[in-house]
Amino acid sequence: MDALDWARWQFGITTVYHFLFVPLTIGLSFLVAGMQTAWVRTRDDRWLRLTKLFGKLFLINIAMGVVTGIVQEFQFGMNWSAYSRFVGDIFGAPLAIEALLAFFLESTFIGLWIFGWEKLPRKAHLACIWLVAIGTALSAYFILAANSFMQNPVGFRFNPETKRAELTDFGAVLTNKVALITFPHTLAGAFLAAGALVAAVGLWHLIRRPGVDVRDYRSAVKVGAWTTLIATAAILLTGDIQGKIMTEVQPMKMAAAEALYETAQPAPFSILTIGTLDGTEPVWQIEIPGLLSFLATGDFNGKVEGINDLQAQYEAKYGPGNYKPIIPVTYWTFRAMIGFGLLAAAIALLALWTLRRGRVPTSTWLLRAALLLPLTPLAANAFGWIFTEMGRQPWIVFSQMRTADGVSPTVGAGSVITSLSVYTALYGILAVVEVGLLLKYAKAGLPDVVAPPEKPPLDDEDRPLAFAY
Amino acid sequence: MELTTVWFILIAILWTGYFVLEGFDFGVGMLLPVLGRTERERRVLINTIGPVWDGNEVWVLTAGGATFAAFPEWYATLFSGFYLPLLLILVSLIIRGVAFEYRGKRDDDRWRGRWDLCIIAGSAVPAFLWGVAFGNIFRGVKLGPGHEYIGTFWDLLNPYAVLGGVTTLLLFGLHGAIFVSLKTAGEIRDKARGFANGLGIAVAVVAVAFLSFTFAIRSRPASVVLGVLAAAALVGALLMVRRKREGWAFAGTAACIGLTVASLFTALFPYVMPSTGLDVFSLTVTNASSTPYTLKIMTWVAVVFTPIVLMYQGWTYWVFRKRIGVHHIPE
């Protein structure tokens, strides 16, 4: 393995790790904002208690999301300097705007929200968490616009003099059709993750601590499960459109998602394959006829181009080389993404069924499912990203620059191995800490609350702070 | 004015903002063992920066992003060239950021002790390394064809750059101590002021040495004027500490940091990263920059949104303007 391989592993590991926290952060910020809004509107203490409980889980989680995000921004320059030189004219802008518009909003108002419970009027304090939520969504949009340029480069021209891609139409980069569909798809994935966590915490308390705060935890399960189900519907809808756009702009990725070697009309979709995925006959397969055609084109009879034909086309267009991604990775991550997402929806549906007409679940089976529930959307999100990034290979910017050409030429394997080891060890330790804290506070359950005053008191300089680190 | 010059100035402003703001929270972090003897005192210290440190840190993310957008060649050379120091900085920022949030989440002395170490090291290491990095940017580094950095890690630890690191380390420490004296009440306030008094002399010696060394490497009249003003601001800050005027003292160290950054950038222009070897390999505002179209868009974004950011960040400081003491810390 050389510096390129290590740099790729580092990007993969740090990104997947970062993206375990991001969806939870985005989704929870909105759900917590929603709960706090419910409290401000109804003055029902149940919503304040839920706000405090999930707000705490949100803060434990966002801390990790923020610090691992710093690595992401600096990594482009550290490990991928040739890439940064090539696309800096285009790629840097959404990143800088993300920092200016989104990160400042998030980080400033999160501070105000954490410490401002009794320092700000009730509605101003509520506005803070909404601004945090908006910040997280804005941040997602700008980073996805940057990523979408790598999937489907638009709004630029290649300048042979400077040998770099130069921006010609920023509007086109921001309204890239890949970005416009990836944004709602990713947001829906975030709501899936957060909804599943909220529902799971509620279920755990209802089953393990029967009779304690039943009314409140039922609300949590309902909010969480409905969020999960609505998010699933949004994911399917946006994923479907995304598949068709992907077929149009990156046909190789769609072919690789099915390991479809020969062009077919209609093309079937296989749920599972036993055997190799190298284009020879599989040992055993469950296939749904015409489904890939539908996913790719919207027509059960549509034509889907196969890997071999695309390889020949790309060779003619871009010169000799291997233009196939690693097929088993794309094939299985695509299925894992869909499978884990649907599993979350199934568990959420089951949970809602057990709550019908005022019932309270007692099943230990449901408890086991509840423990699985928050993990499946995270797995779905991670596999989705691995699929979308690995499916683009060998390109770092599709059709413009190969990944192998984007790596920093002067950074040796030793440096990359050092940083990869440091991050892996550090992230490993922090993962244990984070999971430990999340479990501790999730199990501790709803806090006793005293509703803060409508307006902050002006007097009493010596009163202890309502919240302090 | 050329847009490349505008962006050179904007990036200088972003770094100024970063060092002035995160400078004091780095200072508070590294003084944790010095000014915070008891658990309650440490909590007072951490809570002086609790609501604001995260917003302060975004300045560096914005500086990094803006460099990427406006001067991609600079961004690429700088970040790949200074690989290991940057890795150390990133690791520091990670453990420090997590520590603030996680420290109080368990009632356990060993747990808190470990996070305290993360806060202390996570504050001191970047405070030192940013100075080293800027020393090297200013002094110039070995650049080769394609503007790639061709020196080693050890080349970055040259005497001038290390002096730069010691300067930022001590200056941020002083800035932090003065901030503590401004934001706290009672015993801890007196302790912080006393400490700032003592540290101030060391800072003055190092800062004057650093500035003189700087002028010897590269200077123009305006940069010397700014450097002298920076020294004057520092002296003013120290006098104000003695007179117990903490607000003015804090303004003094803030001005000192801002003027030092301004002096360095003024002397550096039009370079952004000079080569110590052949000058053709040097990075300047022209050969490192994005296209005029990208710069134009970024200028509009900056003009519209920077004032908004400044307003709401300023408001945060207003909301949390009260001094705090040990009696404010809840159980």
Task: Say which DSSP state B324 is in.
Answer: B
- Indicate whether A283 belongs to any domain: no
**What is the domain range of residue B71?**
9-296
Interchain CB distance below 8 Å, A108 and B55:
yes
Residue in the block written with tokens 């010059």:
B5
Task: Say which DSSP state A156 is in.
Answer: E
- Indicate whether B2 belongs to any domain: no
Which member of A409, A467, A469 has the closest CB to residue B46?
A469
Sequential DSSP letters for B51-79: TTHHHHHHHHHHHHHHHHHH-HHHHHHHH
Which member of B90, B294, B324 has the closest CB to residue A74?
B90
Interchain CB distance below 8 Å, A463 and B328:
yes
What is d(CA A63, CA A51) in angstroms, rounded to the nearest whole number?
18
Is the backbone of residue A456 left (phi > 0), alpha (psi -120 to 50) or beta?
Answer: beta
Which member of B83, B104, B322 has the closest CB to residue A78?
B83
Interchain CB distance below 8 Å, B75 and A88:
yes
pLDDT of residue A301: 87
Backbone angles phi, psi at A318, to 5 degrees: -110, 5
**What is the domain range of residue A14?**
3-256+322-444
Task: Identify the CA nearest to B208 among candidates B260, B169, B156, B255.
Answer: B260
Q: Which two tokens stand for residue A426?
A: 């550090």
pLDDT of residue B1: 80
Amino acid type, A317? K
Residues from chain B contacting residue A78 (CB–CB below 8 Å): 79-80, 83, 86-87
Q: Residue B150: exposed, middle, or buried by beta-carbon count in 10 A (0-12, 13-18, 19+)?
A: middle
Count CB-CB contacts under 10 A for residue A439.
Answer: 10
Length of chain B measured in residues: 331
Q: Any idea what the CATH number is for the domain that residue B60 is in?
A: 1.20.1630.10
- Using DSSP's 3-state secondary structure scheme, residue A355 falls into coil
- Indicate whether B159 belongs to any domain: yes
Task: Say which DSSP state B328 is in.
Answer: G
- Indicate whether B329 belongs to any domain: no
> In chain A, what is the straight-line distance between the N-terminal and C-terminal CA atoms, in Å?
45
Q: Which two tokens stand for residue B119?
A: 């806060």
- Indicate whether A302 belongs to any domain: no
Interchain CB distance below 8 Å, A63 and B87:
no
Count CB-CB contacts under 10 A for residue A304.
Answer: 24
User: CA-nearest residue of chain B to A463?
Assistant: B328
- Indicate whether A365 belongs to any domain: yes
Radius of gyration of chain B (CA): 20
- Indicate whether B306 belongs to any domain: no
User: CA-nearest residue of chain B to A143?
Assistant: B65
What is d(CA A12, CA A389) in angstroms, rounded to the nearest whole number?
9
Task: Say which DSSP state A357 is in.
Answer: G
Interchain CB distance below 8 Å, A99 and B62:
yes
pLDDT of residue B328: 85
- Indicate whether B225 belongs to any domain: yes
ipTM associated with this complex: 0.92
Backbone angles phi, psi at A269, to 5 degrees: -120, 130
Q: Residue B54: exposed, middle, or buried by beta-carbon count in 10 A (0-12, 13-18, 19+)?
A: buried
- Indicate whether B323 belongs to any domain: no
Q: In chain A, how long is the greatest CA-to-CA distance?
A: 79
- CA distances to A3, A158, A250, A402, A459 from A155, rounded to whole Å, are 31, 11, 17, 19, 57
Counted domains in chain A:
1
Q: Residue B235: exposed, middle, or buried by beta-carbon count in 10 A (0-12, 13-18, 19+)?
A: middle
**Could you tell me if A196 and A376 are in contact, meaning their C-beta atoms sit under 8 angstroms apart?**
yes
Residues 6+ apart with CB under 8 A from A39: A45, A47, A48, A51
Counted domains in chain B:
1
Per-residue pLDDT of chain B (331 residues; tens, 9 = 90+): 889 999 999 999 999 999 999 999 999 999 999 999 899 999 999 999 999 999 999 999 999 999 999 999 999 999 999 999 999 999 999 999 999 999 999 989 999 999 999 999 999 999 999 999 999 999 999 998 888 998 888 999 999 999 999 999 999 999 999 999 999 998 999 999 999 999 999 999 999 999 999 999 998 999 999 999 999 999 999 999 999 999 999 999 999 999 999 999 999 999 999 999 888 899 999 999 999 999 999 999 999 999 999 999 999 999 988 888 888 888 7
Interchain CB distance below 8 Å, A85 and B72:
yes
- Indicate whether A54 belongs to any domain: yes
Nearest C-alpha of chain A: how many angstroms from B177?
19
**A10 inside 8 A of chain B by CB:** no
Residues 6+ apart with CB under 8 A from B1: none
Q: Residue A258: exposed, middle, or buried by beta-carbon count in 10 A (0-12, 13-18, 19+)?
A: buried
pLDDT of residue A285: 82
Interchain CB distance below 8 Å, A166 and B291:
yes
Which member of B98, B103, B330 has the closest CB to residue A67?
B98
- Indicate whether B158 belongs to any domain: yes
- Indicate whether A27 belongs to any domain: yes
In the stretch 397-456 of chain A, residues with CB closer than 8 A to chain B read: 408-411, 415, 418-419, 422, 426, 430, 433, 437, 440-441
- Indicate whether B324 belongs to any domain: no
Task: Say which DSSP state B327 is in.
Answer: G
- Using DSSP's 3-state secondary structure scheme, residue A275 falls into coil
Chain A interface test: which of B294, B296, B311, B324 (most A C-beta within 10 Å): B294
Beta bridge partners of B275: B141
pLDDT of residue A459: 62
- Indicate whether A282 belongs to any domain: no
Model pTM score: 0.93
Nearest C-alpha of chain B: how many angstroms from A123?
15
Q: Which two tokens stand for residue A249?
A: 């702009």
What is d(CA A243, CA A334) in angstroms, rounded to the nearest whole number?
11
pLDDT of residue A458: 67
Q: What is the pLDDT of residues B294-328, one digit of tens each?
A: 999 999 999 999 999 999 999 999 998 888 888 88
What is d(CA B135, CA B124) in angstroms, rounded to the nearest whole number?
17
What is d(CA B155, CA B160) in angstroms, rounded to the nearest whole number?
11
What is d(CA B313, CA B56) in angstroms, rounded to the nearest whole number?
9
What is d(CA B226, CA B190) in angstroms, rounded to the nearest whole number?
32
Residues in chain A with pLDDT values less than 50: none
- Indicate whether A177 belongs to any domain: yes
Q: What is the pLDDT of residues B262-280, one digit of tens each?
A: 999 999 999 999 999 888 8
* Omega cis (within 30) before A361: no
Q: Which two tokens stand for residue A311?
A: 């390889």
Handedness of CA A408, A411, A413, A416 (dihedral sign): negative
- Indicate whether A300 belongs to any domain: no
Burial A132-158 (b: 16+ CB within 10 A, else e): bbbbbbbbbbbbbbbbbbbbbbbbbee
Interchain CB distance below 8 Å, A120 and B146:
no
